[in-house]
Chains A and B, each alone.
Chain A
Amino acid sequence: GIQVEQSPPDLILQEGANSTLRCNFSDSVNNLQWFHQNPWGQLINLFYIPSGTKQNGRLSATTVATERYSLLYISSSQTTDSGVYFCAALSGAGSYQLTFGKGTKLSVIP
């Protein structure tokens, strides 16, 4: 099955700083999503982005499908951005398994 790797595994930011999280995947994808798990354990869908660029407030994501990676940008970080960010990918027809990376743990300090 598809392999999904995320980097960095841990990231500490000062409030107001910008950051880029990366997700590499081993096969072509027709479904790529980013999630935020907050400190209370809730998993929130941020983006569905198998290709192209999307923006939602201070967050944006870009997937370059031909090069098999996706980036999540967080600008002007806030303490509420803390948590773990996961990407998940689904490859090819006939597969129903969204495979998750191991996540990037982000800590934003005031």
Chain B
Amino acid sequence: DAGITQSPRYKITETGRQVTLMCHQTWSHSYMFWYRQDLGHGLRLIYYSAAADITDKGEVSDGYVVSRSKTENFPLTLESATRSQTSVYFCASIQGLGGNSPLHFGNGTRLTVT
């Protein structure tokens, strides 16, 4: 089905482990984003990508790594998970940043770091 999908939906991991959250979109959108949502902070940008092989840091990028070897995939890796990275993670995509182009979100991944 067309859309943006995230996996897994739920993940529990231990402090210090590496975790990768997956994001896949079928629209061939140019731009993709990773946000985290925490109570009291709203949605904060972790990383974004303007195209394949072009990525850049957002507001809260420390401890995270991304890659975008293919337009449709934008995985987010926590290199060594910490309890402060317990959060709900949302991936989003948009065709362009101007013009009538809505931002679409995946359903989120709820990550718990113990």
Q: B103 is contacted by which of A41, A42, A98 (Cβ under 8 Å)? A: A98
Q: B31 is contacted by which of A44, A96, A102 (Cβ under 8 Å)? A: A96
CA distance A103 to B90 in the complex (A): 16
**Interface size of B by Cβ–Cβ distance < 8 Å?**
27
Q: Is the interface on chain A under 10, 10 to 19, 20 to 34, or 35 or more residues?
A: 20 to 34
Are the CB atoms of A96 and B102 closer together than 8 Å? Answer: no
In the complex, A72 has a CB within 8 A of chain B: no
For chain B residues 73-109, which have a beta carbon within 8 Å of chain A?
A: 88, 90, 92, 97-98, 100-105, 107-108
Are the CB atoms of A86 and B97 closer together than 8 Å? Answer: no
CA distance A45 to B93 in the complex (A): 12
In the complex, A24 has a CB within 8 A of chain B: no
Residue among B43, B48, B100 with most chain A CB within 10 A: B43
Residues of A within 8 A of B (CB): 30-31, 33, 35, 41-45, 48, 86, 88, 90, 96-103
